Amino acid sequence: MLMFNKDINISNNFDPKEQVVIYHGSCLELFKQIPDKKIQLIITSPPYNIGKEYEKKVKLQEYINQQAVVIEECVRVLSNQGSICWQVGNYVDNGKIIPLDTILYPIFKNLGLVMRNRIIWHFEHGLHCSNRFSGRYETIIWFTRDTKDYIFNVDPIRIPQKYPAKKYFKGPKAGQYSCNPLGKNPGDVWDIPNVKSNHVEKTDHPCQFPVELIERMVLSMTNKGDWVLDPFLGTGTTIISAIKNNRRGAGAEILEKYTALAKKRIKKTIEGTLKTRPMNKPKYDPKNHNNKQAISPWQNNGDKSKQIELFAQTEGSLK
Ligand SMILES: C[S@@+](CC[C@H](N)C(=O)[O-])C[C@H]1O[C@@H](n2cnc3c(N)ncnc32)[C@H](O)[C@@H]1O
């Protein structure tokens, strides 16, 4: 149930009294409207400097400098108990990969922040590489101020244990269940499907967050009514995850078409009609669903030559 009613306003500019803000333009302009320490959680996936339609590929140092300006503003608006989660993959330069979290880490550290986790987000779909292993994870680097007082609520995001029926077999608690009935801490390797063609949340944007990925951070790092900000908003996923969970959401998006798309998705969220993949839904296993395409034809009859024949038909050559 949304705490916010269905007439909720989507504001074009930041105002602490609002609940949803979508700024069309550069995040640096939006930051000018946000007072110091107003935001409890900043989650974003910035451009990776790989030449997507919304970015101009620049020299790596220039990219780092650009990111530093945005990160500095994020730290300024971050509340004392707040968190910043920067979701990144690799910068690829002529076949060489540079993990962006490693080059951005010093910026956060030099601004006095402390890293709490380097989360591995594992997914199964993406480009197939020929000259290196295909990339199947990206990272989320999570920072807070140097305080013990940061918000981290693990209970709302616990996941089921492998052996929930396990009991202590000796000692004073013998016979009692040994695990937390609310589930276990999900750990720092998150296996969550990325948004590709068959995903229920897929839009025309090339790299949108799955809502469930962001909900995990929203639920654990904020309280109801807090502000969640995404300076590189894209399709609005961060705001969607925030308002689904009764938080406030703000973000900036530089391209008109994605600003419009974000607004559309957020309106649907407010109305309760946006389809999203529920948090912790088990991953689709094609074999368990008897999907015929998941069974290789050559395994059926144990005939390896069939595989070679089929492969030759599609590839034209086995060289
Ligand atoms: C990696 S995508 C983020 C996608 C987003 N996580 C989602 O779930 O849809 C980065 C987005 O930032 C936008 N962008 C690039 N530079 C920007 C800037 N200076 N200010 C605001 N948005 C910007 C791009 O148009 C793009 O949609």
CATH number at residue 273: 3.40.50.150
Asked if 226 and 294 sit in the same domain, the reply is no
pLDDT of residue 318: 47
Same structural domain, 200 and 161: yes
**Those residues with Cβ within 8 angstroms of residue 95's Cβ, 6 or more apart along the chain or in another chain:** 131, 132
The whole-number average pLDDT for the span 262-272 is 96
Model confidence, pTM: 0.92
Same domain for 243 and 293?
no
As a whole number of angstroms, the distance between CA 165 and CA 177 comes to 7
Based on the fold, state whether residues 169 and 249 are members of the same structural domain.
yes
Same domain, 148 and 229: yes
Give helix 100-110 / helix 60-77 axis angle, nearest 10°.
Answer: 50
- Asked whether residue 304 is domain-assigned, the answer is yes
pLDDT exceeds cutoff 90 at 297: no
Tokens for 270? 């407010």
Does 136 share its domain with 269? yes
Domain annotation covers residue 306: yes
pLDDT digits (tens, 9 = 90+) for 301-310: 556 677 777 7
Identify whether 2 is part of a domain: no
* Atom of ligand 1 minimally distant from the CA of 209: 8
Ligand 1 centroid–CA 209 distance in Å is: 11
- If one compares 313 and 186, the residue with the highest pLDDT of the two is 186
pLDDT of 319 above 60: no
Residue of 86, 254, 259, 261 with the most ligand 1 atoms within 8 Å of its CB, for mutation? 254
In a domain, 1, yes or no: no
Atom of ligand 1 nearest to the CA of 230: 6
Question: Which atom of ligand 1 has the smallest separation from the CA of 231?
Answer: 21
One domain for residues 267 and 317:
no
Check whether residue 280 and residue 290 sit in a common domain: no
| Number of domains, the chain | 2
In the block, which residue shows the tokens 């890293």? 115
Beta strands in 114-254 (DSSP E): 114-122, 137-144, 189-191, 227-230, 248-253
CA-nearest residue, atom 3 of ligand 1: 234
The pLDDT, as a whole number, for residue 308 is 73
5 is a domain residue: no
Same domain as 184, residue 118: yes
Strand partners, 253: 24
Ligand 1 cavity residues, CB under 6 Å:
26-27, 45, 47, 54-55, 205, 207-209, 232, 234-235, 237, 252-255, 258
Residue 1, pLDDT score? 43
Q: Which atom of ligand 1 lies nearest, measured to the CA of 205?
A: 9
Q: Is residue 151 part of a domain?
A: yes
Would you say 277 and 211 are in contact if contact means Cβ atoms under 8 Å apart? yes
- Whether residue 207 is found in the same domain as residue 293: no
* Residue 200 shares a structural domain with residue 296: no
Domain extent, residue 227, equals 10-284
Q: Is 4 within the bounds of a domain?
A: no
Do both 279 and 290 map to the same domain? no
* Nearest ligand 1 atom, CA 262: 9
Question: Is 73 within a domain?
Answer: yes
pLDDT digits (tens, 9 = 90+) for 11-36: 999 999 999 999 999 999 999 999 99
* Distance from residue 288's CA to the centre of ligand 1 (Å): 37
